A and B are shown apart, each in its own frame.
Chain A
């Protein structure tokens, strides 16, 4: 299959990725069942992670790697978990993308990678102080469409 990202876009992303600080490990979860965009997402994330040495990628299957999927709370495919990697340790910040990151969402993917790499939320002190007081699960789902 030819590359999904053209050379121009790849070069731009490579440049953006020179700002990466901490290493980022991405877990891709696909499925053999009912997943129209799994293959394309898999290819796309492979191309993205090849653009920086600070990025690594794990390819997993919802069914074959059910225990790992449960550990990350992933039950849909395609799913991307954007995690921090420090040496041997992978830290989950709870950042996920469900569905193919196309259109606007491609920018979200790149920004999520940069965010996790920075290890900081970039939010105001007021917001951060509030978030530290949260003691119950908060599940944020942002619905988007690929325009």
Chain B
């Protein structure tokens, strides 16, 4: 998704190395996708549309 818009940044974060970050976002199951520091969260590997919905939610 980051490829499509310069305002979008996508990071893979290895949770065991950054536990404070994982804790801050209550990461239990992985993968968990956190958008804009918790404005929206998606747990699990989900299809494209679900991620788009989450982004819409986060940007409200």
Residues in A lying within 8 Å of B, measured CB to CB: 36-37, 73, 76, 93-102, 105, 108, 112, 115-116, 119-121, 123-124, 127-128, 130-132, 134-146
Contact = CB atoms under 8 A, between A and B. Distances in A.
B30 to A, nearest CB: 5
B8 A36 contact: no
Interface size class of B (residues with CB under 8 A): 35 or more
Interface string B17-44: 1100110010100111111110000000
B53 to A, nearest CB: 10
30 contacts: A37-B17, A94-B8, A94-B10, A95-B10, A96-B12, A98-B17, A99-B18, A100-B17, A120-B3, A123-B1, A127-B52, A128-B4, A130-B55, A131-B5, A132-B4, A134-B5, A134-B7, A136-B7, A137-B9, A137-B36, A138-B9, A138-B55, A139-B36, A139-B37, A140-B2, A140-B55, A141-B35, A144-B14, A146-B14, A146-B16
Contact of A143 (B7, B25, B48, B59): B25
Contacts of A124: 48
A140 B7 CA distance: 11
B33 to A, nearest CB: 5
A76 B12 CA distance: 12
The winner among B11, B21, B58 for most chain A CB atoms within 10 A is B11
B15 to A, nearest CB: 5
Nearest to A76: B18
What 10 A-B pairs have minimum CB-CB distances, sorted nearest first? A99-B14, A94-B2, A94-B9, A121-B3, A131-B4, A99-B17, A96-B11, A140-B10, A138-B8, A97-B12
